[in-house]
């Protein structure tokens, strides 16, 4: 097969489940159940097959180059963003691009493989559910989103998948949305994830602004350069790498249920059990670990962020494990177990053992999915929908042999019994921590290593203990809910569980056994090379994941027994032995909770109440928020609604009331209104309207009269009583003659005017006569007097037959740049004078010529209308140009003398 075919296959891996989701989602409810099943399972099976083919191709090429082989395909160009940089604008392309390398390839195999098994399991588990098609549509949509997340080659595409799985998780947790608690659990998950997604977005923005690309490869390549300080306002938040890593980790705490956002995951078990197995144990919740591994060079760049991740991860592991030991419901125990195991993974990532952390993702997918499915099988067997109290069960070993076998395999695996998958992956994590603890001088984070090692050791002990507590209580002893058993009836006297449980059908037990055997064997992919065994896993991962220098140094060492290795082995084996031993001693073939009796009462209650974290959040975060929301809501309802809805609605009501008065149902009222309208229309057509408008520029005026049907126009531009243009015949000049322009000569002037410029608005006109008349004081500026002690006589002006003369009367007058001291100032048309004291606002005066233009309009009815308009034009004097110039110069000279 050529490269191109693999690239096509890569796209179809994603498209197949997507099509399955679309078809089942749109048409599934009308289709036969068999068709729905075939579509749902078939699309995933085909996708798994393609993933296997692609991965096999990768394996054969592995080691061929330094980068390792990878399959990359750009599905299409999505969009560009412009990023302002120092040197201009940098275009960042965002393509829908997919990439399969060892990391994403293995993850794809897990997603499609475990997904396929769980799809098959769901055939039996969901058989009688009315939402059968909806379930498979959601599940397929989840797989498609998860594959986009895993295979996306850049952050935006990954984020699409990231949001997609969040949505599907929400939909599937609230699958039985008729129960309000389940719907609320979905909402809780969605909101907790949303807080995290905010962090992912911020991290994404930091990275793209620093690196200039969204591609993982580019970001990882540029990671060592991310050492500039990062400022949030004026507050320095470490380096860019630290900031980006911490914000991304915030997203991971949401998606992968770490402190402080882990609270949604236990509630998420409200969804159907296959969902818990697939989404909330095997795949989606590990997305955070996947993202961290994907961007491992960025995280490695920031020791601070790594320490934070390691501490938070190990604390999560311990806290969740401590809660799990005090729970009684199988799914609750498994939920907290999942949170705890995710903590292990992040602790591994935090100490730099990315490969080990991801190995644990891989093994965890098998044994935890198996455990959830087994729990589902038990619930199915005892006829319970939502819970399986281990104290009401017991003896299922004989009743459900296949489920028991799978459960035992997975329990041994998660507890870390040697040779099982969980042993190898957990041991790798402890080894990573131990190596950091013993790291020589340049690595100064030894305390982190010790902290992680000790905390994880305790957590591992607790893990082994709670798993076998559950195992012994549920599968050994006698079935306590049997007829006549101690738990046959609950307090209401009903049968809590089916008194005669039965083994689940084959479609449920075979997937269990497949996953159970997986829980045994998949660990052999990553045998510790200290034993001189081949560690294929580390070899594959070395192409995709950067490794911390400590680990590199250790891996470079000879195979053999080193101090860190011994330490980790001691911790791991002690944990398993102590944990399982304690569980055996306390619970084997017993039905009472001896652990609870042995513990201090208050402490145990606190653990059973999940350390009361939900209540803490309720009190510290939610209640103040709810109070704020109530307050804002009150403001909205009281003031905003009054302004925006109550008042307008009352106005609408009022206007409606007024308007309805017209609707009196009498024909003659409507007729009267109609006739008034008709009269108006008639008036509009019968009476002509010139609506003359004019504009002047210099000596030229342009006119515009209104257009109308059948209008004819004639013009008298100087209003001397003779028409300058004849009336056009009807029909010949439909509007053609309505906007002429005319250039005026001196003979057209009716009189001269002074134009006095106002502060704002139009110039005030002052019509001149032959006699001097004082300018109205209202038009003069404040402080126009030269000397306030002299009696105030406003300036006056007149037209002497040739020029306009302004008599100053002690007012302050200036031309541009100089004061005028003359008493009589001759003014030519177009000349400007300034009036008023120099330090105040001055008013400008100029001379214009007044003309009057008239238009007459005739319409088709033969009716005529006339309108005149007075215009001020700027007509140069009739003297020759040179003469006028000379005269003006003389005046200036006199003025400036």
Partner 1 sequence: MEFAIGIYLALASALFGIGAIGFLLRRNALIQLMSIELMLNAVNVLLVAFNRVHPENMAGQVFAFFVIAIAAAEAAVGLAIVISLFRLKQTVETDSADELRY
Partner 2 sequence: MSTANTVLLVVSALLALGGAVGTIAAARPLRAALALLVNIVALAGVFLSLHAQFLAMVQLIVYAGAVVVLFVFVIMMVGATGKVPRSPRGLATKTVSLVVMSVVSLVLVFGVAYVSMPAAHLPHGYGTVEGLGAVLFTQAAVPFELVSITLLVAVVGALAVARGRTPKEAAEARARRAAEGLEADARLAEERRISAEVSAHGGH
Considering beta carbons, is residue 4 or 667 the nearer one to partner 1? 667
In the block, residue with structure tokens 């729905």: 36
> How far apart (Å, rounded) are the C-alpha atoms in residues 867 and 857?
9
Q: Please, which residue, 661 or 666, has the CB nearer to partner 2?
A: 666
- Compute the radius of gyration of the chain from its Cα atoms: 45
Residue by residue, DSSP assigns 366-411 as: HHHHHHHHHHHHHHHHHT-SS--BTTT---HHHH-HHHHHHHHHHH
Distances in Å between the Cα of 416 and the Cα atoms of 160, 362, 461, 726 are 36, 15, 10, 111
Minimal distance in Å, beta carbon 670 to partner 2? 9
Q: Closest separation between CB of residue 672 and partner 2, Å? A: 4
Helix (H) or strand (E) holding 326: none
Taking residues 642 to 681 in sequence order and writing x for each that binds partner 2 by CB under 8 A, - otherwise, the string is ------------------------x-xx-xx--xx-xx--
C-beta separation of 308 from 239 below 8 A: no
> Based on CB atoms, which residue is closest to partner 2, 62 or 183?
183
Beta carbon nearer to partner 1, 628 or 678: 678
Identity of the residue, 86 or 667, whose beta carbon is nearer to partner 1 in the bound complex: 667
Q: How far apart are CA 12 and CA 15, in angstroms?
A: 5
Say which entry of partner 1, partner 2, none residue 676 contacts (CB below 5 to 8 A, set by partner kind).
partner 2
Least Å from the CB of residue 279 to partner 2 = 26
Cα–Cα dist 522/525, whole Å: 6
Strand partners, 90: 83
Binding mask 799-838 for partner 1 (x = CB under 8 A): ----------------------------------------
H-helix segments, 486-622? 506-521, 536-541, 549-556, 563-587, 594-598, 601-608, 613-617
Residue 399: HSE in the Cβ half-sphere, 13 Å Cα cutoff: 25
**Pick from 672, 767, 818, 824: which binds partner 1 (CB under 8 A)?**
672
Residue 665 C-beta: closest distance to partner 2, Å: 11
The residue (of 506 and 671) whose beta carbon lies closer to partner 1 is 671
Sole window of 109-117, 125-133, 671-679, 757-765 interacting with partner 1 (rule: CB under 8 A): 671-679
User: What is the DSSP annotation of 161-187?
Assistant: HHHHHHHHHHHHHTTTTTSHHHHHHHH
- CB of residue 123 to partner 2, shortest distance in Å: 33
Nearest distance from residue 177's CB to partner 2, in Å? 12
Q: Return the residue of 82, 675, 769, 821 that touches partner 1, per CB under 8 A.
A: 675
**CB-based contact 472:583 (threshold 8 Å):** yes
CB closer to partner 2 out of 30 and 668: 668
Only one of the segments 392-400, 425-433, 659-667, 883-891 lies at the binding site for partner 1 (rule: CB under 8 A); that segment is 659-667
Residue 405 token pair:
């076998």
CB closer to partner 2, 179 vs 446 = 179
Of residues 444 and 663, the one with the C-beta less far from partner 1: 663
**What does the alpha-carbon distance between residue 337 and residue 464 come to, in Å, rounded to a whole number?**
10
Among 663, 778, 789, 816, binds partner 1 (CB under 8 A): 663
Q: What's the chain's length in residues?
A: 897
658 binds partner 1 (CB under 8 A): no
630's contact among partner 1, partner 2, none, with CB below 5 to 8 A by partner kind, is none
DSSP line for 617-646: HIIIIIHHHHHHHHHHHHHIIIIIHIIIII
Other CB atoms within 10 Å distance of the CB of residue 170: 23
Contact of residue 665 among partner 2, partner 1, none (CB under 5-8 Å per partner type): partner 1
Stretch that binds partner 1, among 488-496, 669-677, 705-713, 882-890 (CB under 8 A): 669-677
Nearer to partner 2, 81 or 709 (CB): 709
Identify what 660 binds: partner 2, partner 1, none; CB under 5 to 8 Å per kind.
Answer: partner 1
Contact 552, 296 (CB under 8 A): no
Residue 663 Cβ, how far from partner 2 at the closest point, in Å?
14
Q: Would you say 87 or 180 has its CB closer to partner 2?
A: 180
Tell which one of 601, 667, 683, 791 touches partner 1 (CB under 8 A). 667
The yes or no reply on residue 677 touching partner 1 (CB under 8 A) is: no
- CA-to-CA separations, 748 to 741, 768, 803, 870, in angstroms, rounded: 15, 16, 16, 12
C-alpha dist (Å) from residue 171 to 131, 696, 698: 12, 72, 76
With binding defined as CB under 8 A, does residue 4 bind partner 1? no
Helix, strand, or coil (residue 757): coil
CA 4 distance to own-chain centroid: 34
Upper half-sphere CA count for residue 574 (Cβ side, 13 Å): 13
Asked whether position 861 contacts partner 2 by CB under 8 A, the answer is yes
Smaller CB distance to partner 1: residue 536 or 685? 685
Residue 679 binds what, of partner 1, partner 2, none (CB under 5 to 8 Å, by partner type)?
partner 2
Is residue 585 exposed (0-12), middle (13-18) or buried (19+ Cβ within 10 Å)? exposed
Nearest distance from C-beta of residue 678 to partner 1, angstroms: 8
The pair of structure tokens assigned to 280 is: 């909330």
| Residues from 152 through 191 that contact partner 2 (CB under 8 A) | 180
If one asks whether residue 840 binds partner 2 (CB under 8 A), the answer comes out as no
Contacts of 449 (CB under 8 A, 6+ apart): 351, 433, 434, 435, 436, 437, 438, 439
Is residue 661 at the binding interface for partner 1, with CB under 8 A as the rule?
yes
User: Residue 579 and residue 467: Cα distance in Å, rounded?
Assistant: 9
Residue 664 sits in the site that holds partner 1 (CB under 8 A) = yes
Q: Report the residue from 87, 440, 484, 665 that binds partner 1 according to the rule CB under 8 A.
A: 665
Among residues 542, 514, 506, which one has the least CA distance to residue 526? Answer: 542
CA distance 864 to 169: 80
Beta carbon of residue 683, minimum distance to partner 1 (angstroms, whole number): 15
Compute the least distance from the CB of residue 186 to partner 2, in Å: 14
Rounded distance, CA 167 to CA 204, Å? 20
Residue 232 sits at φ, ψ, to 5 deg, of -115, 100
Given 30, 76, 668, 683, the residue binding partner 1 (CB under 8 A)? 668
Pairwise CA distance, residues 515 & 409, whole Å: 9
Convert residues 682-701 into a mask of x (bound to partner 2 by CB under 8 A) and - (unbound).
x---x---------------
Residue 235 or residue 668: which is nearer to partner 1 going by CB?
A: 668
Q: Which two tokens stand for residue 634?
A: 């009150």
889 binds partner 2 (CB under 8 A): no
Choice between 682 and 758, CB closer to partner 2: 682
Kindly state the smallest distance separating residue 861's Cβ from partner 1, in Å.
11
Least Cβ distance, residue 265 to partner 2 (angstroms): 22
CB of 736 to partner 1, least distance (A): 24
Residues in contact with partner 2, total (CB under 8 A)?
15
Task: Specify the stretch interacting with partner 1 by CB under 8 A; choose among 143-151, 408-416, 624-632, 656-664.
Answer: 656-664
Q: Cα–Cα distance between 249 and 502 in angstroms, integer?
A: 45
671 touches partner 1 by CB under 8 A: yes
Residues at the interface with partner 2 (CB under 8 A)? 180, 666, 668-669, 671-672, 675-676, 678-679, 682, 686, 861-863
Residues at the interface with partner 1 (CB under 8 A)? 660-661, 663-668, 671-672, 675, 678
């Amino acid at each position: 097969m050529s490269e191109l075919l693999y690239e096509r296959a890569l796209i179809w891996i994603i498209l197949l489940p997507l099509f399955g989701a679309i078809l089942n989602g749109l048409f599934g409810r009308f289709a036969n159940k068999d068709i729905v099943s075939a579509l749902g399972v078939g699309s995933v099976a085909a996708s798994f097959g393609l993933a296997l083919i692609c991965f096999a191709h990768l394996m054969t090429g592995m080691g061929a180059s330094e980068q390792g082989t990878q399959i990359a395909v750009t599905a299409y160009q999505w969009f560009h963003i412009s990023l302002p940089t120092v040197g201009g604008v940098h275009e960042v392309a965002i393509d829908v691009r997919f990439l399969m390398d060892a990391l994403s390839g293995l993850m794809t195999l897990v997603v499609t493989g475990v997904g396929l098994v769980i799809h098959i399991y769901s055939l039996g588990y969901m058989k009688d559910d009315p939402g059968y098609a909806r379930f498979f549509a959601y599940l397929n949509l989840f797989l498609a989103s998860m594959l986009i997340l895993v295979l996306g080659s850049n952050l935006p595409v990954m984020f699409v998948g990231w949001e997609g799985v969040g949505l599907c998780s929400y939909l599937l947790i609230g699958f039985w949305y008729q129960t309000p608690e389940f719907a609320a659990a979905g909402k809780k998950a969605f909101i907790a994830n949303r807080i995290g997604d905010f962090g992912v977005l911020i991290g994404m923005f930091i990275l793209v602004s620093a690196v200039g690309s969204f591609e993982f490869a580019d970001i990882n390549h540029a990671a060592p350069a991310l050492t500039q300080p990062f400022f949030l306002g004026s507050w320095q938040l470490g380096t860019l790498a630290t900031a980006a890593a911490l914000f991304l980790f915030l997203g991971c705490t949401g998606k992968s249920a770490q402190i402080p956002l882990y609270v949604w995951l236990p509630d998420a078990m409200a969804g159907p059990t296959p969902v818990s197995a697939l989404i909330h144990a095997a795949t989606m919740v590990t997305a955070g670990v996947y993202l961290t591994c994907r961007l491992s060079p960025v995280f490695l760049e920031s020791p601070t962020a790594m320490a934070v991740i390691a501490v938070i991860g190990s604390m999560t592991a311990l806290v969740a494990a401590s809660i799990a030991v005090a729970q009684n419901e199988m799914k609750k125990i498994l939920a907290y177990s999942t949170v705890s195991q995710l903590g292990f993974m992040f602790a591994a990532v935090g100490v730099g053992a990315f490969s080990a952390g991801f190995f644990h993702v891989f093994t965890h997918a098998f044994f935890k999915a198996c455990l959830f499915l087994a729990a589902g099988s038990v619930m199915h067997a005892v006829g319970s929908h939502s819970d399986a109290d281990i104290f009401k069960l017991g003896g299922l070993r004989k009743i459900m042999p296949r489920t028991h076998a799978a459960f035992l395999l997975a329990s041994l695996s998660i507890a870390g019994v040697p040779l099982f998958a969980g042993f190898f992956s957990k041991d790798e994590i402890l080894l990573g921590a131990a190596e950091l603890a013993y790291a020589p001088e340049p690595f100064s984070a030894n305390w982190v290593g010790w902290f992680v090692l000790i905390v994880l050791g305790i957590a591992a002990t607790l893990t082994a203990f709670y798993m076998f507590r559950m195992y012994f209580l549920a599968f050994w002893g006698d079935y306590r809910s049997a007829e006549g058993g101690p738990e046959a009836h609950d307090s209401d006297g009903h049968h809590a569980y089916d008194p005669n449980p039965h083994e689940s059908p084959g479609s449920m037990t075979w997937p269990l056994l497949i996953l159970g055997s997986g829980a045994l064997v998949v660990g052999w992919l990553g045998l510790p090379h200290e034993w001189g065994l081949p560690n294929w896993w580390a070899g594959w991962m070395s192409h995709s994941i950067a490794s911390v220098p400590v680990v590199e140094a250790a891996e470079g060492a000879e195979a053999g027994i080193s101090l860190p290795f011994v330490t980790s082995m001691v911790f791991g084996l002690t944990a398993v032995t102590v944990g399982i031993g304690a569980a055996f001693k306390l619970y084997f073939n017993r039905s009472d909770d001896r652990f609870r009796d042995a513990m201090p009462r208050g402490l145990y209650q606190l653990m059973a109440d999940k350390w009361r974290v939900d209540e803490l959040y309720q009190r510290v975060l939610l209640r103040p928020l709810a109070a704020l929301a109530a307050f804002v809501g009150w403001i909205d309802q009281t003031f905003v609604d009054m302004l925006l809805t109550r008042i307008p609605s009352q106005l609408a009501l009022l206007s409606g009331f007024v308007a309805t008065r017209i609707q009196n149902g009498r024909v003659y009222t409507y007729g009267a209104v109609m006739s008034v309208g008709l009269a108006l229309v008639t008036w509009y057509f019968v009476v002509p309207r010139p609506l003359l408008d004019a504009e002047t520029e210099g000596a030229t005026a342009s006119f515009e009269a209104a257009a109308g049907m059948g209008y004819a126009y004639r013009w008298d531009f100087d209003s001397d009583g003779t028409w300058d243009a004849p009336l056009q015949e009807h029909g010949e000049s439909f509007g053609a003659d309505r906007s002429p322009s005319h250039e005026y000569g001196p003979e057209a002037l009716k009189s001269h005017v002074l134009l006095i410029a106002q502060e704002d608005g139009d110039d005030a006109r002052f019509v001149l006569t032959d006699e001097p008349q004082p300018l109205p004081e209202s038009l003069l500026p404040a402080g126009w007097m030269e000397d306030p002690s002299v009696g105030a006589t406003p300036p006056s002006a007149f037209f002497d037959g040739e020029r306009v003369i302004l008599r100053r009367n002690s007012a302050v007058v200036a031309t541009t740049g100089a004061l005028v001291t003359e008493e009589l100032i001759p003014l030519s048309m177009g000349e400007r004078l300034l009036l008023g004291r120099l330090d105040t606002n001055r008013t400008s005066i100029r001379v214009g010529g007044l003309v009057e233009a008239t238009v007459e309009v005739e319409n088709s009815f033969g009716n005529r209308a006339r309108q005149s308009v007075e215009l001020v034009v700027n007509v140069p004097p009739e003297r020759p140009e040179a003469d006028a110039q000379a005269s003006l110069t003389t005046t200036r000279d006199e003025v400036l003398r």
